[in-house]
Amino acid sequence: MRDVTAELFQKIQKDDPNQTEFQQAVHEFLNSVDKIIDDLPHVVYHKVLDRLIEPERAIMFRVPWTTDEGILQINRGFRVQMNSALGPYKGGLRFHPSVNLSIVKFLAFEQTFKNSLTGLQMGGGKGGSNFDPKGKSDSEVMRFCQSFITELSRHIGADTDVPAGDIGVGGREIGYLFGQYKRLRNEFTGTLTGKSPLWGGSYIRPEATGYGLVYLAAAMLHDKGESFEGKTCLVSGSGNVAQYTVEKLNSLGAKVVTLSDSTGCIYDPSGIDDKKLRYVKTLKNVTRGRISAYAEAFKEAEYFPRKENGGANQVWTFAADCAFPCATQNEISATDARNLVKSNIKLVAEGANMPTTLEGVDIFHDNGVLFAPAKAANAGGVAVSGLEMAQNSSRIQWTAEKVDQQLQRIMKGIYANIRDTAKHYGSEGNLVDGANIAGFLKVANAMIDQGYV
């Protein structure tokens, strides 16, 4: 890194020594910006670079709630409001035991540039709690959500900060959060997105991240004169993003052979067709079971338990043309990236947030693998959240067809933007650089216009 970016990263390491996920996200961003920073007006852009890395506001609070047995529990709640240069803070809430300040800061940092790439008026934020909804009753989840939003409600609003869902926060949780917010504020506004279409939500929102991921990957293949027809694909995860990634890939003629969860993965050489996908949706969304049940229901599939001592991620050891990591951060290590390269993988598109380590990304680039970073590839979810905000503001609801058309337009536009930006700044084919540089310039120019705040 050059002096200015190296000094900034050293500052982050000093000020946030234990925030490894946040450091990783900043390091990747600075590696890209480092390639152009000396060609930009020194005084102007250097002033905003350090401000971009520091959140405008970080909120941490306790969340008391009671179990069905009446036992008091305490969890931590977080909201990081990273940057509001382009609009209200916008980003999801994650309920998972792994949630801490480092993870929320890295997600909010990534969200800032992801939102800028959509072309919609949204700043960047992220939040959540170390609460685990797995194994909890509906009434326990409801009491937790009501307690969580009671505190968070004083910091959010339709023109201030608009949270959405993420890992552990689906339609059920959004409903409980919205109901309590409405009760507290006595107003029906678009303060939360991911709502049911019955009461202010947008059609295609549940599908948006997975669909958008495939739309952007399809644009990448189209540039090479190819399509998904007949291609074998690996997908990790089995939640919302993974489910709708599989659904869209199936519709385009691809064959998906893997899914996973925290316990392990399944490999189905015959393909996870629409009938099998309906089973997965029921398993994960209704009965909230483990992916191992898939191998019991479909005998052609094999289940591989997760290795307790680490090592290679089994999902990435199977031969395929394309890979879609849709589970969680850092699920593709350098070892996994090498395994994918050995299997002659052609394309990797990130559905989860930062699922590939820095070493893994370098391996993909060094071996000519088409690679789409999360801040571009999984922007479909927040893009439709932005469209939901627009529908809420005008008190109308668009058809599913209109929303899907807008989503396709946005994802194709994101790809064209990051492809052309990478080429313009001497990094042709490196979509990581393209996404980081395009996002940085848009947010930085807005901050400069507004007085560097």
Compute the distance between CA of residue 227 and CA of residue 224 in angstroms, rounded to an integer. Answer: 9
**Kind and range of the H or E run holding 216:** helix 208-223
Residue from 375, 325, 360, 435 nearest 107 by CA = 375
Could you give the residue ranges of the DSSP H alpha helices within 54-193? Answer: 101-118, 138-152, 171-185
Name beta bridge partners: 124: 83
**Amino acid letter, residue 337:** A
Is 216 within 8 Å of 245 (Cβ atoms)? no
Q: Residue 38 contacts by C-beta under 8 Å, 6 or more apart in sequence? A: 2
Total Cβ atoms within 10 A of residue 254: 26
Name beta bridge partners: 267: 258, 302
φ, ψ of residue 214 in degrees (nearest 5): -70, -35
Phi-psi region of 429 (alpha: psi -120 to 50; beta: other; left: phi over 0): left
CA-to-CA separations, 258 to 119, 209, 308, in angstroms, rounded = 33, 18, 20
Compute the distance between CA of residue 346 and CA of residue 208 in angstroms, rounded to an integer. Answer: 24
Phi-psi region of 168 (alpha: psi -120 to 50; beta: other; left: phi over 0): left
**Kind and range of the H or E run holding 30:** helix 20-33
Q: Which residues are catalytic?
A: 126
Name beta bridge partners: 25: none
Compute the distance between CA of residue 206 and CA of residue 388 in angstroms, rounded to an integer. Answer: 12
φ, ψ of residue 378 in degrees (nearest 5): -105, 25
Distance between first and last Cα of the chain:
25
Residue from 235, 160, 215 nearest 407 by CA = 215
Is 214 within 8 Å of 252 (Cβ atoms)? yes
